[in-house]
A and B are shown apart, each in its own frame.
Chain A
């Protein structure tokens, strides 16, 4: 069986963001930004590696789209047990429409005959949750989203997923492969990369494809402005040393009748 798992590098959640004065969509992440693997995608990689462990002749490719620095997430995926990395090298142009992401992925995947493609349920930074189902449509595959469990049949032709839905319910879905499955957190416990795998990852460089060499993909939407969201409540920011803040907070709670 051939599996593709897609993972995205996202900026540290605590990155400072500077918005351009004109508000026309420009923004910067000043200073040294740490970057990590999108939380959801670690679960997708783990799921792929587990499937490989259950079925000996399984190959797992890990794909990322991003600037040079994004190669780090491929190292992590191979460190966790993926066989090889594929890097679609694209400039760090700020906003990328999920349609462009999905089209580039499809342009690569269409030639590879994958039985199963795993993505995260959503990217933490842009929270679109679109890439997986778009990829399924582009490749004419079946799909399931928000999987909290995934079983592939012994014959490798079908899979059963449990999708997490609202109010504590889960829906069972039977899929004919090939399929795209988007993975929800909690489906497994992602492992730490092993030393021997990390060494292998460093030795075997990922296959690199320049985005310019892929068929032109047009965005479905453009980003026209960014701003800080409005506050829905008063949002008093407490000032001073921690002790001062604690004292003030206790006063506020007493004032509200929330502390005796």
Chain B
């Protein structure tokens, strides 16, 4: 008997009724898995007044789409997402469910996996076919290692790390939209308002040189060095990793990363930053990256053009002296 072709779902993300950019990457990951495993891809999209987005999705990527309309989904609700997707999965038996590695995807995918008796892998960066099965690569150990994981269940729920699967020119050879209405109502989780809590510092997003401070600085007083170094460059700004902002050394408007600003300056100088994915997500498109850390294995060195293994507090004064000396030479 011929085996059923694996069905790979790509669960789309919408923002304010429109398709969020991450959706393309989720589809690209689903397409890659489907290519490796000889399967088919179907996009799934949930929301209120969701049909226009579903049509747009089907058209943009030529992908077959299942659209689920639910009147309570004007705003994201994790309880409804888990419930509706679990119901749909029980009826259509997907083999792989791909979601965004986002505040939403991460909110309900682990619970969905448990509900469906599925394996759950978050932050997937690569898929491969090995020894008769799929293997997924994700960062591990503070991002210092890449690890391959093999799911042990018939079904896998995974979240797709952004920046790893490219949707350019993706054409999935379908384009039909199936739609249904879900009558599930919110129960013990209800969505309230959505608040814009933080803005990026405008000098940060415009800067050509960004000097970024991390927890490796040790104490707030050491920030002065970073500020002094930044001030040597025209059109520069000081930024921080999340812990630096949490500790109040810098305001949150200066935070770079997944929950902060995304910057792409000509030069990014990371001082005492380990290079967690959530940080590098906000700076990996900088033109030139220099990193200073005492840890020779820090993950930040994997995305750096120049790696300096030094104590940042003793190195920055020496660097500033040499910059002065080198000026105009």
Contacts and interface: CB of A to CB of B under 8 A. Distances in A.
B114 A137 contact: yes
A144 B190 CA distance: 10
A221 B315 contact: no
A137 B195 contact: no
A226 B147 contact: yes
A252 B306 contact: yes
A127 to B, nearest CB: 6
Contacts of B82: 137
B283 to A, nearest CB: 12
Interface residues of A, number: 86
Given A126-B140, A246-B319, A171 B191 contact: yes
Contacts of B267: 253, 256, 258
Interface stretch (B31-39, B53-61, B91-99, B149-157): B149-157
Nearest to A134: B110
A164 B190 contact: no
B194 A250 contact: no
Scoring A95, A146, A165, A243 by chain B CB atoms within 10 A of each residue's CB, the highest score goes to A165
Given A169-B196, A173-B191, A223 B307 contact: no
Given A130-B110, A142-B188, A242-B315, A171 B306 contact: no
A17 B328 CA distance: 43
B309 A145 contact: no
Interface residues of B, number: 100
Given A219-B152, A259-B327, A226 B145 contact: yes
Interface in B276-319: 276-277, 284, 288-290, 294-297, 299, 301-310, 314-315, 318-319
Interface stretch (B4-12, B42-50, B238-246): B238-246
Contacts of B299: 229
A218 B120 CA distance: 13
A227 interface: yes
Interface string B117-132: 0111111000000100
Contact of B111 (A133, A219, A242): A133
Contacts of B308: 238, 245, 249
B103 A163 contact: yes
B189 A169 contact: no
A14 B294 contact: yes
Contact of A171 (B76, B130, B314): B76
Contacts of B198: 168
B110 A127 contact: no
Contact of B190 (A173, A224, A251, A258): A173
Contact of B106 (A14, A129, A222): A129
A216 to B, nearest CB: 14
B290 A145 contact: no
Contacts of B169: none
Contacts of B108: 133
Contacts, number: 267
Given A125-B141, A229-B145, A162 B195 contact: yes
Contacts of A25: 147
B323 interface: yes
A99 interface: yes
Contacts of A174: 189-192
A115 interface: no
B148 interface: yes
A127 B139 contact: yes
A141 B114 CA distance: 13
Interface of B: 75-76, 78-79, 82, 102-104, 106-115, 118-123, 130, 135, 139-153, 187-200, 209, 233, 242-243, 245-246, 252, 258-259, 266-267, 274, 276-277, 284, 288-290, 294-297, 299, 301-310, 314-315, 318-319, 321-323, 325-329
22 contacts: A95-B147, A124-B142, A127-B276, A128-B123, A129-B110, A134-B110, A145-B78, A164-B259, A171-B192, A171-B195, A173-B191, A186-B246, A220-B113, A221-B152, A223-B147, A225-B147, A226-B148, A229-B143, A233-B289, A233-B304, A235-B307, A236-B305
Interface of A: 13-14, 16-17, 19, 25, 27, 39, 95, 98-99, 102, 124-134, 136-138, 141-146, 160, 162-166, 168-176, 179, 185-186, 218-238, 242-243, 245-247, 249-254, 256, 258-260
Given A235-B304, A245-B310, 10 more contacts: A19-B145, A99-B113, A145-B78, A163-B107, A168-B199, A168-B200, A227-B146, A229-B146, A243-B322, A253-B267
